[in-house]
Structure 1
Amino acid sequence: MKTVILGKTNIEVNKNGFGALPIQRIEKKDAVYLLQKAFYNGINYFDTARWYSDSEEKMGAAFSWIRDKIIISTKTAATNADSFWNDLEMSLKNLQTDYIDIYQFHNPSFCPRPGDESGLYDAMLKAKEQGKIRFIGITNHRLAVAEEAVMSNLYDTLQFPFCYLATAADVQLVKACKEKEMGFIAMKALSGGLITDAKPAYAYLNQFDHVAPIWGIQKESELDEFISFQEKPPVLTEAMRLQIEKDRQELSGNFCRGCGYCMPCPAEIEISMCARMSLMLRRAPQEMFLSEEWQEKMKKIENCLHCNQCVDKCPYELNTPKLLEKNYEDYQTFL
């Protein structure tokens, strides 16, 4: 069973981390079952966030009795100190714990620093002094903010999208974390579902001994696959390399990563899926996406207000309304 040391924290985690965003979509009893099965099969790192509706609460129900045997990270999207303390206290309550191992700023548009106007980093330091958090982390989708966080020496961990679709700049960021002894937590290791085969995804990340992937898990079959990798980790084969190169060519350029930061949409468009529907239709079974339910969801694109809220929120600076329009036009050719 391969493990990863998260930089200078010296926290040792299983190479398989459990990303708990998807469990907000399933019943509490099913979520508790998945979380506990993961633990009993050697997974000891679980990542969640206040933003993930009831994910923290489900994790608390699963783990309150074995708190000292697992590593928990969660996140605050607070923009000021008061909201920070509200988030922290709510997270502690939901998780049924009196401390959080890694408390992370959740995709801020800037890199919080001591003494800045937000007061966020100072609040984080105070929480650490009080013993409510052990280590300070930051998550981001913006390369510039992530790079600043790494060079600042203010953070113990960085959580950033990383998979075999990574750019050269992304890979350099990963290497910089190793040089700085900063823990690197890889999110979107399956690129939000666009990578449909976990084996080459796992094999690619397995090359980086300091990278700790967190896999978004919602189904028992998904969990079972990652558990199987612990005893027999996939190794990059020539066939895998060819698949990776094919995916890189197909998914290069401006495509929606499905991060969801553009949501909610005032026209109730499910942007994080609709803006990449063309790719999903070509990379996953089509039947699901051609259902009446999805036809209705895609039709909402006709009601786009062109308010550009999604453009302003997109960390990848995509022209989201144009992307939605193109995906809708393509979608209609499948009907």
Structure 2
Amino acid sequence: MKKRKLGNTGIEVSEIAFGGVEIGLPYGIGVNSDKDMISEAKAIDLLRLALDSGINFFDTARMYGNSEHIMGKAFQNKRSEVILATKCVHLLDNEGNLPPKNKLRETVEKSIYESLKALQTDYVDIFMLHQATVKILENEEILTVFSSLKDKGLFKAAGVSTYTTEVTEKTIDIGFWNMIQLPFNLMDQRQGELFKKADEKGIGIVVRSVLLKGLLSDRGRNLHPALKDVENHIAKYHELLEGTNYKLPALATKFALSFPEVSSVLVGIDKQEYLEEALRTVDGVYLSKEKLNKARQLAYPEPEFINLPYWDKMKWLT
């Protein structure tokens, strides 16, 4: 497993990052309750197998159910071998407002200390804002409390999880944040426009949603009628598989890793077969310039429609 530098943080991460949401709560197509999830014992075994197989980067969050707790158990005697990234609790209320200054600081501090306890460690490598907005980023108290916690040694690098290019660009322009976790995939390539700018500022890029919650796999068939155009577009990527010995998920992952500014790609892993497939994908051979250009031309023509939270809300993914 090759490792890449995470911007200017001094941290080196495996090209594949183990996405921890699936082991902590019901998530993904066809996963509707706890009974559809992997058991805690099997999740611990899977995390340790991933580490033994060369993955050193593990991503979780306060909001991911039991994910931090499970990772804490898995790595309690292996802390020096892993790069742990976790995210703060959501900071906006139902009306989209931030709490008052003192309450905001208390919320962030409580979140990281709860994460450290669950992860059984005294620091995390990366501490992130979860679902950041421009309003959150412009709040001076956010920078103050993150700076204070970093100075205390509770984390090494400060990160932001973004959804839109507007928020990603704002993160870059602020000049404080060390890494950005953002959605980027064959269908929705808008964030790629900011890769160079982030790289020039020494900011690491971690890509998530590379498989579009599993749609860029065999699951991307027989979709809800509202997603018929999406399903038809996904079928176009199969022409890029001609002459290869891999499948669509591998193509989607190789696509993201073909950009030198990308440090790592988050892959949701809750089965050994998914781990093995991810490991086969990172063989050091990525898309040729010609195939990469072709993939870029096959971006979905209406990327603003690629909105997984909205699709979930509309129950188009169940």
TM over 0.5: yes
- Match in the other structure for 1:220: 272
Structure-1 residue corresponding to 2:205: 184
Residue matched to 2:257:
206
Per-residue displacement from partner, 1:170-219 (whole Å, max 9, x unpaired)? 21211211111100010111122221121211221121123111111111
- Match of 2:112, SS state, is helix
Q: Classify the secondary structure of the residue corresponding to 2:125.
A: strand
Residues 136, 142 of structure 2: 8 Å contact kept = yes
Give the match for residue 167 of structure 2: 145
Higher RCO structure, 1 or 2 (CA under 8 Å, sep 6+): 2
TM-superposed CA distance for 1:129, in Å, is: 1.3
Q: Percentage identity across aligned positions?
A: 27
Q: For 1:221-253, what per-residue CA distance to the aligned partner results, in whole angstroms no more than 9, with x for missing partners?
A: 11001112234645459889878866x34x734
Q: What 5-or-longer segments of structure 1 have no aligned partner?
A: 263-270, 278-293, 295-335
TM-score w.r.t. the length of structure 1 is: 0.72
Q: Is the 8 A contact 1:174 1:184 kept in 2?
A: yes
Counterpart residue number, 2:106:
82
Instruction: Rate the CA distance shift 1:56–1:192 in 2: closer, same or farther, 3 A.
Output: same
Aligned residues of 1:60 and 1:96 also touching (Cα < 8 A)? yes
Structure 2 letter corresponding to 1:70: V
Cα distance in 2 between the residues matched to 1:121 and 1:153: 11
Q: How many residues align?
A: 263
- Residue 37 of structure 1 aligns with which residue? 49
* Shift of residue 44, structure 1, vs aligned partner: 0.3
Query: Which sits farther off after the overlay, 70-79 or 234-243?
Result: 234-243
Residue 272 of structure 1, CA deviation: 1.4
Aligned to 1:46: 58
8 Å CA contact 1:8–1:183 kept in 2: the answer is yes
d(CA) in 1 for partners of 2:153, 2:288: 42
**Contact persistence 2:2–2:284 (CA under 8 A):** no
Matched-pair contact (CA < 8 Å) for 2:86–2:128 = yes
Deviation at 1:59, TM superposition (A): 0.5
1:200–1:240 CA contact under 8 A, matched in 2: no
- Larger Rg belongs to: 1
- Alignment RMSD (CA, Å): 2.5
Q: Does 1:155 align with 2:155?
A: no
8 Å Cα contact 1:164-1:201 kept in structure 2:
yes
- Aligned to 1:205, the other structure's residue is in SS state helix
* 1:252 correspondence with 2:302: yes
Shift of 1:82: 1.0
The yes-or-no answer on 1:128 pairing with 2:150 is: yes
Q: How has the CA–CA distance of structure 1 residues 175 and 67 changed in structure 2, closer, same or farther, with 3 Å as cutoff? A: same
Residue pair 2:187, 2:303 contacting (<8 A) in 1 also: no
Tell me the SS of whatever aligns to 1:208: coil
Tell whether the 8 Å contact from 2:185 to 2:210 is kept in structure 1 after alignment: yes
- Scaled by the length of structure 2, the TM-score of the pair is 0.75
Corresponding letter in the other structure for 2:187: L
Indicate how the Cα distance of structure 1 residues 61 and 10 shifts in structure 2: closer, same or farther if over 3 A, else same: same
Distance verdict in 2 for CA 1:97–1:176, change over 3 Å: same
SS of residue paired to 2:76: helix
Note the residue ranges of structure 2 that are not aligned, 5 or more in a row. Answer: 25-36, 92-103, 218-247
1:175/1:89 CA distance change after superposition, 3 Å: same
Residue 307 of structure 1 is matched in structure 2 by: none
